[in-house]
Amino acid sequence: MATEPSTDRAAGGPGDGAHENEEVATPASRPGGTLTIVVAIADVVVPIALYYVARALGVSELGSLLISSVGPIVSFAVQALVTRRVDGLAVFIGAVLVLNVVVALTAADPRTLLARDGWITGLAGLFFLATLWARRPFVFSIARPLAEGRLGPPGEDWDSVWDRFALFRRVWRVLTVLWGVGLIVDAAIRIIFAYTLPVDAVPASNGIQYAVVYLLLQVITQVYLRRSGLMSLPGFTFTRHKTL
């Protein structure tokens, strides 16, 4: 990518500038603590529970996996009704769910269905990286509805901040690379587990992996944001969002 002209002052470490002690926003979660918890349960816990309940009732491995696919679909529908918002993240999640349904309906054996999460996660990672050549990287698009108006010069929209500060542009590109590569590594591990672990062990291991990978990427994101020098840019402030 070509080097862009910068209108901000030289980017320093976290100790530079008048705002060195202020916190930095992270694209960590959706607005509303209650909704975030409900989403996490519906997307991760419910599918795992449905799988093992179905297996206990004598349903086949493939049938149990198909039943467990219902959770995320219901979760997405509820979020759409509650938030009444169609943004880049919502479109992305919707596309992933469509792919999940297509694979679920065409899978001939349980291991192919188990590997579905890995392949789709890998495609998602490639999509993240591809947006580096788009007008805005995808992590910027995810973070914008969550943090615009709370992170940056008060009253200034992110399009203006993007145009004015090279450091701001670099931060979102770096984070997009971080999450894109992280998803691809995560995908490779999921595919390996899908074909090597016992079938009944994979849903549980997938759930644990979701939590570990997400928390790891969040920690790296937070550390990077704190050290990026973002808050040393002229006029930058951060207002913490109050969750439910």
Angle of helix 46-56 relative to helix 202-227, nearest 10 degrees, comes to 170
pLDDT at 13: 38
First to last CA, the chain: 41
Instruction: Give residue-wise pLDDT tens across range 118-136.
Output: 998 999 999 999 999 999 9
Q: Tell me, yes or no, whether 118 lies in a domain.
A: yes
- In 3-state terms the chain splits into helix, strand, coil percentages (rounded to 5) of 70, 0, 30
Q: Tell me, yes or no, whether 180 lies in a domain.
A: yes
Q: Tell me, yes or no, whether 174 lies in a domain.
A: yes
Q: Tell me, yes or no, whether 141 lies in a domain.
A: yes
Strands (E), the chain: 151-152, 237-238
Q: Tell me, yes or no, whether 228 lies in a domain.
A: yes
Domain containing 42 equals 33-238
Q: Tell me, yes or no, whether 19 lies in a domain.
A: no
* Phi then psi dihedrals of residue 17, to 5 deg: 90, 170
Q: Tell me, yes or no, whether 22 lies in a domain.
A: no
Give the pTM: 0.73
Could you write out the DSSP letters of every residue in 157-187?
Answer: -HHHHHHH-HHHHHHHHHHHHHHHHHHHHHH
Instruction: Give residue-wise pLDDT tens across range 53-86.
Output: 988 998 888 888 888 777 677 766 766 676 666 5
* pLDDT beneath 50: ranges in the chain: 1-33, 242-244
Q: Tell me, yes or no, whether 85 lies in a domain.
A: yes
Number of structural domains the chain divides into:
1
